[in-house]
Structure 1
Amino acid sequence: MTVVYPRKLQSSMGSLSARDVMKQVIRDRDVHLITLNRYRYSEQRSCKDLTNLIEQLDGKPAELVKDLSRHVSDEARHAMWLTDLLVDLGSSVATPPGMSYIEEFERLLDQEQVSPESLDDFVISSLAAINVTEKRGCEYFSGHIHALKQAPQTEENIQIRETLERILPEEAGHVRWGNRWLSQMADKSPEHRAKVEHAKQKYAAIEQAAFESGMDITLGAELRRVGNLLDIANTLPAWQRPQYLIERLPQSLLSPDLQRTRIDVMQRAWNRDPQAFVERFVPMFLSGLTQDRNAKKPQPKATSAASN
């Protein structure tokens, strides 16, 4: 089967890996703690979403329900560890500020197209959605741990790293579990294999769009979100695309959450250091337009040796 990995973050500074991003995150304690709180929130929210999935499955297949129940237990434990960590560090455990990766992911899902009535299709879609988000989590936990190993070995950094090192192996286990289940579903028939491959591509596009929406607040982000929305629509059957776009296009173009996040980040940056706000934040914010222009520049055509 095709192996699908999360793509790097595309920004005005180029293509950034998880290690690149986390190297910057840990330099600012406030941003670092907000990031940890986002982890906590995601792990906590996963318990709710997985429980909802178990209820939708209504006992079938029993082996999957059993595995998902264990998965809920793992995520609850991770949320507990991260909550304990944040409280020990004197940090907030309230709902984190900014765009919610999970809520954006759910907004972009086409849940009405797959229901528990078509059990195999529902299982494939659910597993593909879980698998791609777990892969992103592993990527960023790993990048975070690597960044902390390179950072000054303060008591706080060591405490954070050790907590993440407890979580990462279990998250990697979730990825392997999802891969096994998807492989089992694909082995049922050629039709099932095609459905698994399609689901992996579709949910990878959805996850990438949700991920970038939470990372990109620069000018022009709305248009880039529309571009990601079109990428998702292209993974759907032609007859489903118009309805999908009509339902989600207004929110992508006129996102109140994006505007609130921009204002919140601007206020934080200004209150912390007005000079840095003008010298660093404003150029960074405006760089989104440069990113769009660079993306639209035609690439020079390669000249063959025969034409020389």
Structure 2
Amino acid sequence: MTVAYPKKLLNTYSARDILQQVVLDREIHLITLNRYRYSEQRSCKDLTNLIEQLNGQPPQLIKDLSRHVSDEARHAMWLTDLLVDMGVEVNTPPGVSYIEEFERLLDGHAPGSDEFLINTLAAINVTEKRGCEYFSAHLYALKQAPQTEENQAIAEVIGKILPEEAGHVRWGNRWLAELARKSPEHRQKVELAKRRYGAIEQAAFESGLDITLGAELRRVGNLLDIAETMPMLNRVSYLAERLPQTLLAPDLQFTRMQAAQRAWKRNPQAFMDKFVPMFINGIQGNKPPQAVASAKAE
């Protein structure tokens, strides 16, 4: 079967590129950790909702998902303890929400069928892969950063989370492979689900980082990529439901304002020299500008 991996931001910046900038700014670093905490906490809710939708079937999957909830709750607890001990607020992170955008882009499937299982597991699998990529890159960046007591504490927590998240990826791969072995039709559905939810995840990922001029049109391009993985009859309704919000992008406009205000307050000269050119010219070059990392934190 096809093995899908997370793509770079706009085919330019890797997770390592971004995290190496993030760890150099304590404020952005802590906001990023809070976003991790929020994602782990939210996963508990989403996985619990899934268990209720499945209504006890199949039992082995219910058992696996229950353990998954336990893992995510433990990760949220570790991150919460870490942040509270450092005196950081554990509130809802500001800015464009990766989770909310991912869910907005999902296409609905009724529970009770193998197709529902395939699509659900593919969606979980692709987000877990992104999490592993970022936790791994974060650890790498921390090794290059000053070895302060705080950075060591952060690395210790992320180092405990990463192996369990990698286990979740392997678990998802096994379930998808098992479903694909049922028949050629099942294999085709698994491959299609990987493509579709890979495109959805990439779109959600980029929406949280790309706030530069023209981001709305790039979001539309991502939406069209997702629609191409659907049967022709479903494409029109999918695009009709999501295109208006994608073009207007109220969350993007609000995040732009927040990022601009933040950059101005931190350093008016840097705002004019770095933030404004980046906003106009887009995300370019070999290294992610500080504003990209700031957008992630926003």
Alignment of 1:58-97 (within 5 A): 58-97=55-94
Alignment of 1:226-245 (within 5 A): 226-245=220-239
- What SS does structure 2 have at the residue aligned with 1:153? coil
CA contact (8 A) 1:219 1:289 kept: no
Which residue does 1:302 correspond to in 2? none
Match of 1:151 among 142, 145, 154: 145
Match of 1:115 among 90, 110, 118: 110
- The answer as to 2:246 corresponding to 1:252 is yes
Cα deviation digits, residues 229-271 of structure 1 (max 9, x gap): 0000000001110110010001111011111111111111111
CA distance in 2, matches of 1:85, 1:266: 29
Cα deviation digits, residues 100-123 of structure 1 (max 9, x gap): 000000000011xx1113x21111
CA distance in 1, matches of 2:27, 2:212: 20
CA distance in 1, matches of 2:135, 2:283: 30
- The answer as to 2:132 corresponding to 1:138 is yes
Letter in 1 for 2:136: S
RMSD, matched Cα? 1.2
- Go from structure 1 to structure 2 and tell me whether the alpha carbon gap of 1:128 and 1:90 turns closer, same or farther (over 3 Å shift): same
Letter in 1 for 2:110: S
CA distance in 2, matches of 1:98, 1:34: 11
User: Taking every aligned residue pair, what percent have the same amino acid on both sides?
Assistant: 73
Shift of 1:289: 8.7
Normalization by structure 2: what TM-score? 0.94
Normalization by structure 1: what TM-score? 0.91
Cα deviation digits, residues 155-197 of structure 1 (max 9, x gap): 1111111110000000000000000000000011111111101
CA distance in 1, matches of 2:284, 2:32: 27
- The answer as to 2:17 corresponding to 1:20 is yes
The higher radius of gyration belongs to 1
Match of 1:207 among 201, 205, 209: 201
Shift of 1:290: 7.7
Alignment of 1:174-193 (within 5 A): 174-193=168-187
CA distance in 1, matches of 2:124, 2:60: 17
Greater length-normalized contact order (CA 8 Å, ≥ 6 residues apart): 2
CA distance in 1, matches of 2:81, 2:194: 35
List structure 1 runs of 4+ shifted beyond 3 angstroms: none
Gaps of 5+ in 2: 286-298
Gaps of 5+ in 1: 292-308
CA contact (8 A) 1:220 1:289 kept: no
- Go from structure 1 to structure 2 and tell me whether the alpha carbon gap of 1:130 and 1:277 turns closer, same or farther (over 3 Å shift): same
CA distance in 2, matches of 1:100, 1:81: 21
- The answer as to 2:3 corresponding to 1:3 is yes
Which residue does 1:298 correspond to in 2? none
Which residue does 1:280 correspond to in 2? 274
- Go from structure 1 to structure 2 and tell me whether the alpha carbon gap of 1:276 and 1:4 turns closer, same or farther (over 3 Å shift): same
CA distance in 1, matches of 2:77, 2:280: 39
CA distance in 2, matches of 1:185, 1:289: 40
Letter in 2 for 1:51: T
Letter in 2 for 1:180: R
CA distance in 1, matches of 2:256, 2:117: 37
CA distance in 1, matches of 2:88, 2:249: 28
